[in-house]
Amino acid sequence: MSNYDSLNDCQRQAVFHTEGPLLLLAGAGSGKTRVLTHRIAYLIEEKEVNPWNILAITFTNKAAGEMRERVDQIVGFGSDGVWVSTFHSMCVRILRRFADRLGYGTNFTIYDGDDQKTLMKDICKRLEIDTKVYKEKMFLAAISHQKDELRGPIEYETQVFGDFTKRKICDVYKEYQATLKRNNAMDFDDLIVKTVELFRTCPDVLEYYQDRFRYIMVDEYQDTNTAQFKLVSILADKYRNLCVVGDDDQSIYKFRGANIENILNFEKDFEDATVIKLEQNYRSTQNILDAANGVISHNIGRKEKALWTENERGEQITVRQCMTSFEEADYVTADIRRRKNKGEFDYKDCAILYRTNAQSRLFEEKLLMANIPYKLVGGINFYARKEIKDLLCYLKTVDNAKDDLAVRRIINIPKRGIGAASLAKVQNYAVDRDISFYDALKDAANIVSLGRAVAKIEPFVTFIQTLRSQAEFYSVHELLQSIIDMTGYVTELQAEGTDEAKARIENIDELISKIVTYEESTKEPSLSGFLEEVALVADIDDQDEDSNHVVLMTLHSAKGLEFPNVYLTGLEEGVFPGYASINADDPDELEEERRLCYVGITRAMKRLTITCAKQRMVRGETQYYPISRFIREIPIRLVQTGREQVKTEQPAKKMPDVHSPYMQAKKAFKSKAFDPNQFRVKKADSLDYTVGDQVRHIKFGVGTVENIIDGGKDYEVTVNFEKVGVKKMFAAFAKLKKV
C-alpha cells in the first residue's frame, strides 16, 4: 500500500480522479510528475487496473527511466506491464509490429539528423537543385514543420498555389518521402506521422491499442506538437481517460513545432475535462521561487498562476557580472570547488546551465584543469563518432540492407576500389527499377556499363551475405567482432598507431561493452532491437546517474530536472535573450526566451547563482554585452552581487592578483591572439616532479613527464599518458602527483 498521505489535497484529488479527461495545469516544482507516478500506483493498487492497460508518456528517455523507477518503488512488483515511454519510442514499438500495414518492412531503419542530411544532399543532386540558393537544411526544416502539423506531400501541395519556393519544397518533400520508403526508413518525425496514419487507416489496429491503453497520461504536455496531440486524442477517443500535466509557463519547444495552444485549448477539445491546479512548490526556496515569479510575470500571454512555498526563504540569489567569459567560467568553477570543500554541496548537486551548446567549452576547460569531474549532456555524442558510425552502418546493412545510406557508407570500408562513377551507375540502376541500392549491387552482373567494376562489387555482396548468415546464429557482439575481424578495422587502426587511432580503438571497445550490456539487460536481445535502442538515445540520456560529477547542459535539456545548486550562466542581452528574439517581429519569441529563463531558475532547489560577462568571444571576435533584462526583472531585494565572497574565497597566495591578468586579457582580446591559459597563476610551491618522472592525473591516469616549461605565471607540463597520449597542461591546475 503506497502512502498517499505524502500528497497535498489538490495532488490527491488529481491522483484519485481516474475516469474522464483531466488537465493538471501547474507551475514548476509543484509535483506534477510526482502526481503522475502516484496516479499509476493508485490505478494498479486501488482500482485494480491491469498495468498492461496503462500508458505514460514522458519527454525524454531519461524521464521515462526515472518514472519507471519511481513507479516500481511505489507499486513494488507488477508494474512491468505499464508502458512508460517517450512519444518516439512508443511509436517505434507500435510500428515495429504494424509498419507492414503501411507498406514498410517492420525492420525499418530510423534515420538520424546526419542520415537525413546525406539523403537530402542526394535528392538535391538528383533534382538538380542549386544548394547555394536552396539549402538542404531549409528543405529539412520545412519538411519537418509540415510533419509536425501532420501534412504529407499531398496535403502540402494544396497550399503551394503559385509560390515558387513552396513548389520546390513540395517536389523535394515528395522525393524525400518516396526515397525513405524505398530505403525502408523513417526519420524521427515520421515515427509520429506514420503511427497516426496507421491508426487512421487501420481501424482494427487502432481499436487494439485503444483497448489496450485505457488510461493514458502525458507529462510535459505543454511541449507536444499538433501531431503528438492528435496521436493521443485518437488513442484516448474510446475511453477518454486521458490525463495531461503541464505548465504553460514552461513551453520552450515552439521552434520545434510545439503548440502551446494544445494546453490552453485542452478544455475546448475535451469539454468535460476536469481542471486541477497545483500552487504549492516543494522544490525551491522562497527566494528562488520569488525570482522565478518576478521574471515570468513579465510575460503577457499566460494563465495567471500563484506559486507559493512553505520552504525556508533561503539564501539570496547571487548575481555576478564578470569581466570576461573566461572569468565567468573561473568564477563558477571556483565556487563549485569551494562549496564542495566546505561540504556544502557534492559535485553531483551542481548544474551549470547555458543557452547554447557552444557555451559549454569554457566551462569544460576550466573544470578539466581544476580536476573537477563533470558530465556534458548533449555535446559530441558518442554515436556521432566516425568509427562508431562505420560499425553501426555495417550492423545496419546486415540487419536491413534496404538502408541505402548505410550500405553506401561502408562499401569502401575497407577500401575496395569501387569508384564514384561505378556507384553512380548502380544508383541509377536502382532508381530506374525502384529497388534498393543493395539489391542493385546484387544485380551488378546485369549492369552492363559497370564493366570490370563488377569484379570489385561482387566480393562485397558475398561478404554481406556471409555476415547475414552469421547473424542467424551469432549474438550481436559476436557479429560485431566478426565484422571487425573480417574487415580488419581495428588491425588497420593499430597499424596507424597514432593517439587518435588509439582513442578510436577505445571507442570501439566501448561499443562492444555497450552491446554486451544491452544483451545482458534485455530479455530477447536482437540486432534490430540493439540498433533501435541506439537510434533512440537522446543526448540527455548520456547522463550517468551513479557517479559524482557536475552536470553541464543547455536550458532545454534541463527541463523537468532539479539540482540543489544551479549556475545560470551567460545572462546577457544578445546571448540570453538572444539577438534574434530581441529583434524578432513576433513578441512571443522574447516570451519564449523568458519561459526558458523561468525553467532555468526553477531547476534550483537551495542555491541559485546567475552570471554574465561584459565581454565574450564570438567567432574569434570580442563582443561587448549588457546585462540581460531577465536579471533586471528579478526583484532587487532577492539579489546579492557576491563580489566580497569571491575575493575572500581565493587564497591570496595562489591568486595574488586576480584582476590584472584580466586587464591583460582584455588587451589580448583585441589582438585576437588570446590564450586564456596565458593568464593562469603560478603555483607558489615548486614542482615535486621533473622530466622523466611518472605522474598521475585524476582523469588521464598515469603518464611520463616529457617536458616542463616555465611560463612565468605557471609551468606548462607535457605529459605522455599511457591511456590518452600526449597532453600539455598547466601545473597549478593539473595537480599531477608523482608516483
Ligand X SMILES: Nc1ncnc2c1ncn2[C@@H]1O[C@H](COP(=O)(O)OP(=O)(O)OP(=O)(O)O)[C@@H](O)[C@H]1O
Residues that bind Mg ion (CB under 5 A): 32-33, 560
Query: Which triple of cell numbers denotes residue 382?
Result: 558518442
- Strands 109-111 and 83-86 turn out to be unpaired
Candidate list 14, 32, 550, 681; residue touching ligand X; CB under 6 A: 32
- Residue of this chain nearest to ligand X (CB atom): 31
195 interacts with, out of ligand X, Mg ion, none, CB within 5 to 8 A per kind: none
Which residue lies nearer to ligand X by CB, 32 or 697?
Answer: 32
- 692 known member of a binding site: no
Which residue lies nearer to Mg ion by CB, 33 or 609?
Answer: 33
- 570 known member of a binding site: no
CA 548-552-558 angle, 5° bins:
105
Query: Which triple of cell numbers denotes residue 61?
Result: 528517455
Report which of 429, 422, 430, 410 is spatially closest to residue 455, judged by C-alpha positions: 422
676 interacts with, out of ligand X, Mg ion, none, CB within 5 to 8 A per kind: none
Minimal distance in Å, beta carbon 30 to ligand X? 4
- Is 29 an interacting residue with respect to ligand X (CB under 6 A)? yes
Query: Which triple of cell numbers denotes residue 122?
Result: 542526394
Contacts of 91 (CB under 8 A, 6+ apart): 191, 192, 194, 195, 231
Catalytic residue check, 680: no
- Of 250, 318, 602, 611, the catalytic one is 250
- Of 62, 603, 607, 629, the catalytic one is 603
Catalytic residue check, 33: yes
Report which of 366, 375, 340, 327 is spatially closest to residue 565, judged by C-alpha positions: 340
Minimal distance in Å, beta carbon 586 to Mg ion? 28
- Of 115, 136, 220, 404, the catalytic one is 220
Alpha helices in 127-223 (DSSP H): 136-148, 153-157, 164-182, 188-201, 203-212
Preceding omega of 414 cis (within 30 degrees of 0) = yes
Which residue lies nearer to Mg ion by CB, 32 or 616?
Answer: 32
Which residue lies nearer to Mg ion by CB, 247 or 592?
Answer: 247
214 interacts with, out of Mg ion, ligand X, none, CB within 5 to 8 A per kind: none
28 interacts with, out of Mg ion, ligand X, none, CB within 5 to 8 A per kind: ligand X
- Of 11, 32, 408, 572, the catalytic one is 32
Report which of 690, 689, 688, 678 is spatially closest to residue 714, judged by C-alpha positions: 678
Candidate list 208, 282, 308, 518; residue touching ligand X; CB under 6 A: 282
- Is 73 an interacting residue with respect to ligand X (CB under 6 A)? no
Catalytic residue check, 32: yes
- Is 302 an interacting residue with respect to ligand X (CB under 6 A)? no
Beta carbons within 10 angstroms of residue 632's beta carbon: 14
Which residue lies nearer to ligand X by CB, 217 or 467?
Answer: 217
Candidate list 10, 28, 464, 531; residue touching ligand X; CB under 6 A: 28
Report which of 664, 663, 736 is spatially closest to residue 702, judged by C-alpha positions: 736
Distance CA 584, CA 600 (A): 22
Catalytic residue check, 305: no
Note every long-range contact of 464-470, with CB atoms under 8 Å and residues 24 or more positions apart, other chains counting.
464/397, 464/398, 464/401, 464/438, 467/394, 467/398, 468/398
Which residue lies nearer to ligand X by CB, 34 or 62?
Answer: 34
Residue carrying C-alpha cell 597549478: 732
- 652 known member of a binding site: no
Which residue lies nearer to ligand X by CB, 183 or 602?
Answer: 602
Q: Where are the beta strands (DSSP E) in 513-659?
A: 550-554, 563-568, 604-618, 621-624, 639-640
- Is 31 an interacting residue with respect to ligand X (CB under 6 A)? yes
Candidate list 247, 387, 589, 716; residue touching ligand X; CB under 6 A: 247
Q: If residue 309 lies in a helix (H) or strand (E), which one and from where to where?
A: strand 308-309
Query: Which triple of cell numbers denotes residue 2?
Result: 503506497
Q: At what angle do helices 188-201 and 203-212 cross, to 10 degrees?
A: 100
402 interacts with, out of Mg ion, ligand X, none, CB within 5 to 8 A per kind: none
List beta partners, residue 601: none
Candidate list 21, 23, 30, 75; residue touching ligand X; CB under 6 A: 30
Minimal distance in Å, beta carbon 6 to ligand X? 5
Distance CA 256, CA 658 (A): 43
- Is 259 an interacting residue with respect to ligand X (CB under 6 A)? no
Q: How far is CA 55 from CA 87, 149, 273, 423, 474, in A?
A: 11, 23, 19, 46, 34
- 29 known member of a binding site: yes
Distance CA 297, CA 306 (A): 10
- Is 716 an interacting residue with respect to ligand X (CB under 6 A)? no
Which residue lies nearer to ligand X by CB, 247 or 714?
Answer: 247
Q: Which stretch binds ligand X (CB under 6 A): 21-29, 142-150, 615-623, 637-645?
A: 21-29
- Is 214 an interacting residue with respect to ligand X (CB under 6 A)? no
Q: Which stretch binds ligand X (CB under 6 A): 22-30, 224-232, 233-241, 649-657?
A: 22-30
Distance CA 139, CA 171 (A): 10
- Residue of this chain nearest to Mg ion (CB atom): 33
Report which of 152, 153, 148 is spatially closest to residue 259, judged by C-alpha positions: 148
Q: Which of residues 544-603 bind ligand X (CB under 6 A)?
A: 560, 562, 602
Q: Which stretch binds ligand X (CB under 6 A): 23-31, 183-191, 387-395, 420-428?
A: 23-31
Which residue lies nearer to ligand X by CB, 25 or 169?
Answer: 25
Q: Which stretch binds ligand X (CB under 6 A): 30-38, 44-52, 266-274, 680-688?
A: 30-38
Sites of contact with ligand X (CB under 6 A): 6-8, 11, 26, 28-34, 247, 250, 282-283, 560, 562, 602
Provide the annotated binding site for ATP: 26-33
The residues carrying an active-site annotation are 32-33, 219-220, 250, 603
